[in-house]
Chains A and B, each alone.
Chain A
């Protein structure tokens, strides 16, 4: 029987930042499609809630504490995935944070904290995952950027915009480096979705009105709307796509 090109059954997928927000939904999307998901984040208690919830639905999930800014933790996490599962088919670099401040008042530690988590963390996870993927001669890396990596807006989050633009550059360059190894590196740039990070914007009706005025579809994204694209990028259906940014934003970035 021919295997469905969108099939991800039994694929081993490591998802960082999977304790809340879009990471939970992407992990769920992959698990629902039959993948074995390893959920990584700093907050082990919240991670366990997510993995227990997935397991209660019959999906295969494991929670692993991992701070993506800590190279040794990243290395040991990825080594343990390979040891326990025998392969690493997909890495989803979703962990991220932000710092909101006018740039003139922004502290360098806040700047470094965001760049460390959002960009250096992606580099570290890629560094240790790609060795295995090159050995396997196959692999999928998906880096979660943002529409803010592609355009400017009024939100006072300079390190966030900078880090997300950096992810776009990292994705392109790494895709080129790994193309001949049959490892595809792509990025998803979500627009405005509910998450812990966007909660203050949504709960402020004025900022919500502003944001929706910029989105042609006049609504925020439903988290489930990321499930299709993450499955696509984890499956054979995307084997000839690399170095690309798939924007999921209701048309926000069109103007």
Chain B
């Protein structure tokens, strides 16, 4: 497990790799980039034997622009993705997002509002052109510990 240097107001950033082990307790907000992240994160947590209370949270883009400009719609994760969640207490929610602030700050506000102890997010990986992604911006902005699961 790498514990990265801290930037900004972040208290802790843990970058978790396949063989890592860590105790994750309390309520955890899962910042979902897409519904596939649910499977990645739950399989990782199963592998390390941790079952915190999970708040799966997605952004909902419908209000970004009116329909004449472009249609922005994303749906909640399919039910089949949520079928194999035995052992987990979880909730699923979508936050209306109007692009007036960064995605990271929206997730952080939600985590604070819901009294979460941790935030988990999947990184976009090293094979991408994006040197900045949701995981890195969350790590920079969050006062709550951020656990980054590498793809």
A213 at the interface (CB under 8 A from B): yes
Within 8 Å by CB of B99, from A22, A49, A194, A207, lies: A194
Complex Cα distance, B132 from A218, in Å, reads: 14
Complex Cα distance, B69 from A218, in Å, reads: 21
Cβ–Cβ < 8 Å partners of B124 in chain A: 206
A154 with B68, Cβ < 8 A, contacts A206-B124, A209-B104, A219-B101 known: no
Cβ–Cβ < 8 Å partners of B99 in chain A: 194, 202, 208, 212, 219-220
Q: Mark A172-216, 1 if CB is under 8 A from B, else 0.
A: 000000000000000000000011101100111111111011000
The residue in B68, B103, B129, B132 that gathers the most chain A C-beta atoms within 10 A of its C-beta is B68
A90 at the interface (CB under 8 A from B): no
State whether A204 touches B102 (Cβ < 8 A): no
A50 at the interface (CB under 8 A from B): yes
State whether B130 touches A196 (Cβ < 8 A): no
B97–chain A nearest beta-carbon distance, Å: 9
Consensus secondary structure, chain A interface: helix
A155 and chain B: residue at smallest CB distance: B129
B65 at the interface (CB under 8 A from A): yes
Complex Cα distance, B71 from A203, in Å, reads: 11
Consensus secondary structure, chain B interface: loop
State whether B69 touches A25 (Cβ < 8 A): yes
Q: Which chain B residues numbered 48 to 86 have a C-beta less than 8 Å away from chain A?
A: 59, 61, 64-65, 68-72, 74
Complex Cα distance, B36 from A205, in Å, reads: 13
State whether B101 touches A194 (Cβ < 8 A): no
13 A-B residue contacts at CB 8 Å? A24-B68, A25-B69, A49-B68, A194-B65, A195-B70, A199-B70, A202-B61, A203-B74, A206-B124, A209-B134, A210-B132, A219-B99, A219-B101
| Chain A residues within 8 Å of B, Cβ to Cβ | 20-22, 24-25, 49-50, 53, 154, 156, 194-196, 198-199, 202-210, 212-213, 218-220, 223
